[in-house]
Amino acid sequence: MKSGIPLLVGLLVIVTSACGGRRQKELLLDVDIKSLEYAVRVYFETTGLMPTSEEGLTALVERPGGLEPAREWVAILKVVPEDPWGMEYVCQRGELAGATAYSLRSFGRDRMPSGDDRVFELDAKQSEVAGAKVEQDR
């Protein structure tokens, strides 16, 4: 299952060398999200759960303390990734028990909750990632 990660890393290198400036970071964000989508799906397939909002992407690096000992778990990532602007992704699991929906938010280049945010919705039961730029009232 982990064979897709080196491919995504290779794509990241190509994108990094081919583009520059703001557009480069937007492209890197898209590659990051695809890679994180894959990692969250592997976590879901391994544990049968989505990481909680409190665990966030740390659940992909360290075994969550609240995870039942009987549940299988593997480290999927070596480190918790940051978005292209050096900020941690804000993660939130769906509200319903056993929810398969998960959102990842990047605050974008201004590094603050604003209209520059990018929110991506993941669902372990679907094969697509929905991404959107979020407009917020101030």
Q: How far apart are CA 62 and CA 55, in angstroms?
A: 9
pLDDT 10s digits, 75-101:
999 999 999 999 999 888 887 655 778
pLDDT tens, position by position, 51-64: 998 999 999 999 99
Is 67 within 8 Å of 50 (Cβ atoms)?
A: no
Please write the tens of the pLDDT for every residue from 33-48.
Answer: 889 989 998 999 999 8
Determine the Cα–Cα distance for residues 26 and 95; give it in Å rounded to an integer.
29
- Spatial contact of 91 and 36, defined as CB atoms under 8 Å apart: no
Whether pTM exceeds 0.75: no
Class of domain 4-133: alpha beta
- Sequence spans of domains, the chain: 4-133
